[in-house]
Amino acid sequence: MKKKTILVFCAILLGSFSTLTAQVKLQADNVDEVLKAMTLEEKAMLVVGGNRQIASSADNGMIGAHARRVPGAAGMTQAIPRLGIPSTVLTDGPAGVRISPRRENDQNTYFCTGFPVGTALACTWNAELVEEVGKCIGNEVLEYGCDVLLAPGMNIHRSPLCGRNFEYYSEDPIVTGKIAAAYVRGVQSQGVGTSVKHFAGNSQETNRMNVDEVMSQRALREIYLKGFEIAVREAAPWTVMSSYNRINGPYTQENRELLTTILRDEWGYDGIVMTDWTGLRNTAAQIQAGNDLMEPGNESQINDLIDKVKSGALKESDLDICVKRILQYLVKTPAFRAYKYSNKPDLDAHAKVTRSSATEGMVLLKNEGKTLPMSGVKTVSVFGVTSYDFIAGGTGSGDVNKAHTIDMMQGLSEAGLQVNSKLANLYRDYKTYQSSLTAASSRGGRGWGRPLLPEMAVGLPIINVQAQESDLAIITLGRQAGEGSDRHEDGDFTLTDVERQLITDVCNTFHLAGKPVVVVLNMGNVMETASWKSMPDAILLAWQPGQEGGYSVADVLTGKAYPSGKLTMTWPNNLIDLPSSASYPNIRQAAPRGRGNNKVEFQDYTKHLEGINVGYRYFATSKKEVSYPFGFGLSYTTFTYSKPVVKATKDGLTASVTVTNTGERAGKEVVELYVSAPAGGLEKPACELKAFAKTRELQPGQSQTLTMALSLYDLASYNEATQSWETAPGKYTIGFGASVEDIRLTVTYSLSKQYSVKCHDVMKPSMEL
Ligand code: BGC
């Protein structure tokens, strides 16, 4: 049916209907009544995204009073004016709101704040801070007339090659869940919703629309679903976004075992599930699975649903369940309250929040001879094209349309450093030239963000002059990645030849002149460091720290702020060291295709051969050497841990430890709680992170006692033989760690009898693993 036909059809139908029934309008407490008053066509339209013009006699042909449109927002839900149902607006995240910054015939601008990317936020290990950032983002959602932020991204960093890792938090589900819950609480405190995504298993971008992620039930529950479970239980997101991919056979969008049995029946979720932005898939299967909303929505889906109900292929009562949940969602939205948004969030205040939150997620990887914070440094030579073309965030739907990105030059100059202008001019000319080449070849479309400019080769004569003229050299290395494709190993995970030469020449020359070199990593993901980390004096992992990035980096380099971030993922020596590399796309030495990762025309799968051995779970157990371990991060000061105490509680334990700043500068410390289970039960990793806490700012000599609570459920592992979460009796070792390789103190905790929670035997692997 063509659009016009639908409109006319609806106009007639709704017109006659409204003359027959008394006008019921949606209110917070009459959802059932409204559902009863809806026609089949209206129900089908409500579960399919978009906001088609509906003419009805009751509204004189006008779209509903509450209907709004926000240019550049990713999607909408349908308004049904005669029933007082407003349209609602769904906009992308997670690093900020993604809408068009300019509108036709409008002089105003609609820029949003570019906050630090998800990985950077997670590396703060500071749930309170993430909640504060969430509040600012939620405020921009509200004030720009949107209802739901399509964030946070919660997929697991199964491999450093995943193009979207910058949007996600960690290789660990506990960090992922806790940080996501804080983010959701922050955004939703503003009276708008979130959509935790992509539920689930979307840990690769290669063929993300079709790939079957084949995994054991245990890996699914413990690694890939656990973070979502925590966020759902602790923060009640208004919406969940199902992923594009399949898991163990069916598409997640069509999987009732995932969207109903696990999500709703086991975890108690009562919000709506929407699809990722797919076209036509099996509409009936999605409704039956409990996927309430199909985004972005098209007319063929509406017609298909109507036909299926009429032919009996889909029960109207099944459709009603989804419609009712959407109505329950609608009454919570700003659109329903007819909130008068300003289009003027306080961008200056939010810029301050992004500047300071970014520094807290930065990870100091190396700092020999207390190179940082700089002292007595007046002049600097700044190498690396990314210094002049700083990267605030990744590409794709997670790219925020921000008004500016502060680069390293601005940041360092405003911090009072003299940046060598000869070198800067050389890079600026190079940047202008390279940008003109990329602009000419760039593909239009959705505006996927700026690609990375190739590094410039700098000759030794130039470096020699710089080493004479400056007190210190900074080299910024950049990486860019994003939605739709995965990264590559050569020259992306590893250094390019030009980069390796640059680091070697700058380090050799500056060191000969007795001057230090600092490398700043401006990326959203992990890269190879083992082969070159010995060369520079200091390495600061700045991540993609948002629009104020240059200021944030300068704050840390100069000591105005200090880094207190720690890694939420392992930095391996080589990609092939990761067990996931046996089946991840784009790995040079991976197993032959057909074993773990296969692409035959309609049958593309990735077998998770490593099971639960993702990231540090594998490295800590196999004791394989890494470049930087999970949980690692240096500080400008030092901390000691003392007085470890573990107390049994009614349903678990509390663990506390006292942290003292024993250095000479202020700082904050993250304490990671690792648990090693007694032998004899299920096979477990050597240790697993079960909780974490961060101190407030501690001045030299100050102490703080951190207390973390754990339930027996938190300690449990998933037993496929009994389909239960089980915590075996015996002696547990509770370790307080500064990283997974640096567990400072341990205490034991004994459990006398087994604890278990029975689950459903669902989502079995579709192939042998
Ligand atoms: C992405 C989602 C995003 C959606 C709407 C999809 O391609 O996978 O993360 O929210 O588009 O832009």
For residue range 519-572, what is the model confidence (pLDDT) as tens digits? 999 999 999 999 999 999 999 999 999 999 999 999 999 999 999 999 999 999
Cα–Cα–Cα angle for 749, 750, 751, nearest 5°?
A: 125
* AA identity, residue 545: P
Cα–Cα–Cα angle for 717, 718, 724, nearest 5°?
A: 115
Atom 7 in ligand 1: residue holding the nearest Cα: 277
| Residue 295 Cβ < 6 Å to ligand 1 | no
Q: Which of 626, 543, 476, 559 is nearest to 122 (CA)?
A: 543
Mutate to test the pocket of ligand 1, among 194, 242, 397, 483 (most ligand atoms within 8 A of CB): 397
Q: pLDDT tens-digit profile of 641-681? A: 999 999 999 999 999 999 999 999 999 999 999 999 999 88
Please say whether the beta carbons of 295 and 272 come within 8 A: no
Residue 212 to residue 244: CA distance in whole angstroms: 10
- Mean pLDDT across 396-410: 95
3-state secondary structure of 158: coil
State the pLDDT at residue 62. Answer: 38
Q: Is 80 exceeded by the pLDDT of residue 302?
A: yes
Rounded to a whole number of angstroms, the distance between the first and last alpha carbons of the chain is 45
DSSP structure class, residue 70: -
Q: Which of 500, 523, 522, 492 is nearest to 586 (CA)?
A: 492
- Mean pLDDT across 128-145: 98
Tokens standing for residue 727 = 């915590």
CA distances from 656 to 517, 564, 644, 653, 691 (A): 39, 20, 6, 10, 11
Atom 8 in ligand 1: residue holding the nearest Cα: 276
Mean pLDDT lowest among 58-62, 284-288, 583-587, 690-694? 58-62
Q: Is 50 exceeded by the pLDDT of residue 731?
A: yes
Residue 335 to residue 654: CA distance in whole angstroms: 43
* CA 434 to ligand 1 center in whole angstroms: 29
State the pLDDT at residue 63. Answer: 42
| Residue 73 Cβ < 6 Å to ligand 1 | no
* Closest approach atom of ligand 1 to CA 208: 8
* CA 522 to ligand 1 center in whole angstroms: 24
Q: Is 90 exceeded by the pLDDT of residue 255?
A: yes
State the pLDDT at residue 68. Answer: 67
* CA 586 to ligand 1 center in whole angstroms: 23
State the pLDDT at residue 599. Answer: 55
* Closest approach atom of ligand 1 to CA 198: 9
- DSSP element (H, E) containing 310: helix 299-311
- DSSP element (H, E) containing 18: helix 3-20
- Mean pLDDT across 321-339: 98
Please say whether the beta carbons of 130 and 136 come within 8 A: no
* CA 33 to ligand 1 center in whole angstroms: 33
Please say whether the beta carbons of 397 and 90 come within 8 A: no
Cα–Cα–Cα angle for 253, 254, 260, nearest 5°?
A: 90
Atom 9 in ligand 1: residue holding the nearest Cα: 397
* CA 447 to ligand 1 center in whole angstroms: 13
597-600 and 639-649 as β-strands: parallel, antiparallel, unpaired?
A: unpaired
| Residue 150 Cβ < 6 Å to ligand 1 | yes
Helix axes 347-361, 127-143, angle to 10 degrees: 150
* CA 397 to ligand 1 center in whole angstroms: 6
State the pLDDT at residue 590. Answer: 53
Band of residue 279 on the pLDDT scale cut at 50, 70, 90:
confident
Across the chain, what does the average pLDDT equal?
93
- Mean pLDDT across 114-128: 98
- DSSP element (H, E) containing 730: strand 730-739
DSSP alpha helices (H): ranges in 69-188? Answer: 118-122, 127-143, 173-188
- Mean pLDDT across 242-252: 97
Atom 11 in ligand 1: residue holding the nearest Cα: 277
State the pLDDT at residue 749. Answer: 96
Active-site entry in 172, 276, 537, 714? 276
Mutate to test the pocket of ligand 1, among 245, 277, 483 (most ligand atoms within 8 A of CB): 277
Q: Is 90 exceeded by the pLDDT of residue 17?
A: no
Atom 2 in ligand 1: residue holding the nearest Cα: 276
Mutate to test the pocket of ligand 1, among 89, 483, 485 (most ligand atoms within 8 A of CB): 483
3-state secondary structure of 232: helix
3-state secondary structure of 692: strand
Cα–Cα–Cα angle for 50, 310, 30, nearest 5°?
A: 55
Please say whether the beta carbons of 487 and 586 come within 8 A: yes
Of residues 63 and 91, more confidence is placed in: 91
Token look-up 């341990």 returns 746
Question: Other C-beta atoms within 10 Å of 210: how many?
Answer: 14
* CA 151 to ligand 1 center in whole angstroms: 10
- Mean pLDDT across 464-469: 98
Tokens standing for residue 624 = 């394989």
Tokens standing for residue 633 = 């991060």
| Residue 197 Cβ < 6 Å to ligand 1 | yes
State the pLDDT at residue 597. Answer: 56
Please say whether the beta carbons of 550 and 408 come within 8 A: yes
Band of residue 604 on the pLDDT scale cut at 50, 70, 90:
confident
* CA 208 to ligand 1 center in whole angstroms: 12
724-727 and 652-661 as β-strands: parallel, antiparallel, unpaired?
A: unpaired
* Closest approach atom of ligand 1 to CA 243: 8
Mean pLDDT lowest among 394-408, 575-589, 688-702, 735-749? 575-589
Q: Which of 267, 326, 286, 385 is nearest to 85 (CA)?
A: 326
State the pLDDT at residue 435. Answer: 86
State the pLDDT at residue 445. Answer: 41
Please say whether the beta carbons of 45 and 51 come within 8 A: no
Residue 29 a catalytic site member? no
Exposed/middle/buried for residue 744 (C-beta within 10 Å: 0-12, 13-18, 19+): middle
Q: In whole angstroms, what separates CA 741 from the centre of its chain?
A: 25
